[in-house]
Amino acid sequence: MAILAECPVCHRQQKVSNKNCAGCGLSLDKFKRSGKVKYLVSIRDKDGKQIRKSVGRFKNLEATSIKDANKAEAAVKTQKEEKRPLFNLAPGADVTFEHLAKWYRATDELAKLKSANRIEIILTHFCAVHGGLLVNDVNLDHLNNYRKKRLADGSSARTVDYEVSVIKTMVTRAFYYDKIDGRALKPFKVFKPLLGVGDNARDRMFTCGQYLDLIEAAPRHLKAIIVTAYHTGMRKGEILKLTWPMIDRKRAMIRLPKGFTKNKEARRVPINHHVAAVLESLPRQIAHDYVFTYRGRNLTDRFGRAFKSTCEKAGIAYGRDADGGVVFHDFRRTCKTNLLNAGVDKSFRDLIIGHSLSGMDAFYLNNPPDDQLTERMARFTAWIDGQLEKARVLKTVMKKRVS
């Protein structure tokens, strides 16, 4: 049994007593003092086969500490004398990213995610670069090299930041399940994304004129969705999955049950006369309770193309990458900004849109009466009706000038 030193340049493993590397001649003593030389424990098993393990693979021991190397050697001697399995290694000492990805793909929590297909692609990309790397050996250089490669492949900074965050989530979950050692999390904790908070935030909104153009260009089934999104700020998924039992016409309220929304919390959305009118015009289906349908079927699979073609017909650029392009999610920003301009206070803006309350508002204003929400919606409606009327007058004047 012996302790070996690994040269940080040529990686030759040799006697720990060597002052200079037997391979490249590097001064090992100098690099030992700076903590750049890793140590290994070498021992022969009962069959005479030599086994070498890095000290860093042992739980709570540092690979570059000679004191920890002596501890590891003493522990292995005890294990051999007591005829126990050699090397009390840290969890996941032999787990590579390829093995970890295989485990993560099989977990129930991944299967429940809507982004499971995208995560599968990200795991494939990462394993193509670092699949054979031991998870406990990952460091900042590995993550930086992966980022450089993905950027060179043409991926955006936002995409690469998201991919690294997915791998970080996988490593974190593996640590919670004792699949790997906690040290594997260290490089992910200190790895800085390219984009800061808000750097990639969209600022695109629908003007009143564009909203009127969309209403004019949209087919009947899509018009109802656009009106609902513009006046309530509901998410696309919430609108498309909305069912008739969630609509309280008597109190002019949409009641989204717990687990239905993105944050899984129940929510009430007040509706104004615009939304009430389109809901009143929609037929109810016998086969299901979905509110928004096309030819009797739910719109989930057809909505994207329909909205894109409507934007093009209305003369509005569509898509995140288009110059000045819009996406459906921009209705949420538009609605919340309009609520602000109408004088609705922040807490009620958050409640209507579905953003979590912060500070003491989360305790005192989490469940206001229906009439308070209705009053704020009435204030917003009075303001937006005035803005829409101005936009209609302007459109009429412009048409007369053109003609």
- In tens, the pLDDT along 3-51 reads 999 999 999 999 999 999 998 999 998 898 888 899 998 887 666 778 7
> Are both 139 and 250 inside the same structural domain?
no
Question: Would 135 be classed as within a structural domain?
Answer: yes
70 with 13, same domain: the answer is yes
pLDDT over 90 (residue 388): yes
Q: Final residue of a domain: which of 81, 113, 135? A: 81
Answer yes or no: is pLDDT of 403 > 70. Answer: no
- Say yes or no: 226 and 264 in one domain: yes
The answer to which of 125-129, 275-279, 291-295 has the lowest mean pLDDT is: 291-295
What confidence category does residue 150 fall into, taking pLDDT thresholds of 50, 70 and 90? very high
pLDDT band at 60 (very low <50, low <70, confident <90, very high): confident
Q: Are residues 40 and 144 in the same domain?
A: no
Mean pLDDT comparison of 38-47, 73-82, 84-93, 100-109, highest-scoring range: 100-109
3-class SS shares of the chain: helix, strand, coil, % to 5: 50, 10, 40
For the chain, the first-to-last Cα distance in angstroms comes to 96
Whether residue 203 lies inside any domain: the answer is: no
Percent of the chain at pLDDT exceeding 90: 53
Give the pLDDT mean for 232-236: 93
Q: Of 134-143, 239-248, 292-301, which range is least confident?
A: 292-301
Q: Examine the domain organization and report whether 157 and 246 are in the same domain.
A: no
Together in a domain, 169 and 143: yes
What whole-number distance in Å separates Cα of residue 206 and Cα of residue 197? Answer: 24
Query: For residue 138, is it within any domain?
Result: yes
pLDDT in tens, 162-204: 999 999 999 999 999 888 878 889 999 999 988 766 555 567 8
- Are residues 380 and 259 located together in one domain of the fold? yes
Query: Could you tell me if 365 and 231 lie in one domain?
Result: yes
253: pLDDT strictly greater than 90: yes
**pLDDT given for residue 367 in this prediction:** 79
Name residue 52's beta-bridge partners.
42
Residue 26 resides in a domain: yes
Report the number of distinct structural domains present in the chain.
3
**Do 169 and 241 fall into the same domain?**
no
pLDDT-derived band at 262 (thresholds 50, 70, 90) equals confident
Is 321:331 a contact under the CB 8 Å cutoff? no
Q: Is residue 274 pLDDT above 90, yes or no?
A: yes
Is 319 contained in some domain? yes
Who has greater pLDDT, 356 or 292? 292
> What angle, rounded to 10 degrees, do the helices at 157-176 and 97-105 form?
80
Predicted local confidence at residue 78, as pLDDT: 79
Quick one: pLDDT at residue 79? 73
Statement to judge: residues 233 and 268 lie in one domain = yes
Domain membership of residue 92 (yes or no) is: no
Same domain, 167 and 299: no
The strand order across the sheet containing 38-44 reads 13-15, 2-6, 38-44, 50-54
Do 227 and 150 reside in the same domain of the chain?
no
Q: Is the predicted pLDDT of residue 300 greater than 60, yes or no?
A: yes
User: In the predicted model, is pLDDT for residue 294 greater than 90?
Assistant: no
* CATH number of the domain bearing residue 216: 1.10.443.10
All residues at 6 or more sequence positions from 65 whose CB lies less than 8 Å from its CB, including other chains = 35, 39, 55
Q: What is the pLDDT of residue 80?
A: 73
Task: Classify residue 151 by burial, with Cβ atoms within 10 Å: 0-12, 13-18, 19+.
Answer: middle
**Domain limits for position 108:** 97-190
Mean pLDDT for 205-212 is 93
For residue 398, the model assigns a pLDDT of 83
Handedness of CA 324, 325, 329, 330 (dihedral sign): positive
pTM: 0.64
Q: Is the pLDDT of residue 89 over 60?
A: no
Which of 131, 155, 190 is the endpoint of a domain? 190
Tell me what the pLDDT averaged over the chain comes to. Answer: 87
Is 27 a domain residue? yes
pLDDT confidence of residue 229: 95
Percent of the chain with pLDDT over 70: 92
pLDDT of residue 284: 87
Residue 278 included in any domain: yes
Copy the structure tokens of residue 268. Answer: 């009430």
